């Protein structure tokens, strides 16, 4: 086939003209478009129920506070009664962080906004401090001292 016999058709699919007005053919297409079905077709999964507002549980927030305080003690170092020297327990703090991750996974979608926010904030803060302390323990150069966790 020679280049002279090839035809190229260009279709302008823009919705608006250069002046910013809606093109006439777009209006026709919108008028011809079938309305969206109100009922799902057979075999389709039912629509999820509307999200319920879940009230915050003071007991859940106290549990998070208790775990935060315990993890904070492990990350700041518990003083040895014999020597008075503080020792950081990364393994114990890792267990608490892992427990909080499991708690987050098991309660996903069933917590109030306040509970979700508290859990995510606590997890993020503990993971950040843990990562910095673990890097310091491995002797990573130039690591700044970790911030004190809230709790």
Supply the pLDDT for residue 84: 86
Supply the pLDDT for residue 110: 92
Q: State how far the Cα of 151 lies from the Cα of 147, in Å rounded to an integer.
A: 12
pLDDT tens figures, 68-94: 999 999 999 888 889 888 889 999 999
- Over the range 106-122, which residues count as b (16 or more CB within 10 Å of their CB) and which as e? eeeeebeeebbebbeeb
Supply the pLDDT for residue 19: 78
Supply the pLDDT for residue 34: 64
**CA-based R_g, the chain, Å:** 30
Residue keyed to tokens 């315990």 = 70
**Backbone phi and psi for residue 71, each to the nearest 5 degrees, phi listed first:** -65, -35
Supply the pLDDT for residue 61: 95
**With a cut of 50, which residues of the chain have pLDDT below it?**
none
Supply the pLDDT for residue 81: 87
Q: Which two tokens stand for residue 100?
A: 């909080």
The pTM for the full model equals 0.57
Supply the pLDDT for residue 108: 93
């Amino acid at each position: 086939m020679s280049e002279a016999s090839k035809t190229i058709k260009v279709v302008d699919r823009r919705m608006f003209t250069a002046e910013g007005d809606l093109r006439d053919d777009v209006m026709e297409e919108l008028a011809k478009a079938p309305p969206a079905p109100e009922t799902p077709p057979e075999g389709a999964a039912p629509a999820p129920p509307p999200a319920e507002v879940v009230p915050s549980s003071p007991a859940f927030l106290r549990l998070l506070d208790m775990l935060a305080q315990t993890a904070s003690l492990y990350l700041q170092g518990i003083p040895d009664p014999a020597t008075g020297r503080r020792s950081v327990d990364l393994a114990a703090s890792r267990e608490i962080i892992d427990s909080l991750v499991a708690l987050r996974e098991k309660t996903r979608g069933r917590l109030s906004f306040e509970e979700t926010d508290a859990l995510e904030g606590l997890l993020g803060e503990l993971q950040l401090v843990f990562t910095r302390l673990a890097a310091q323990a491995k002797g990573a150069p130039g690591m700044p001292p970790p911030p004190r966790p809230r709790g």
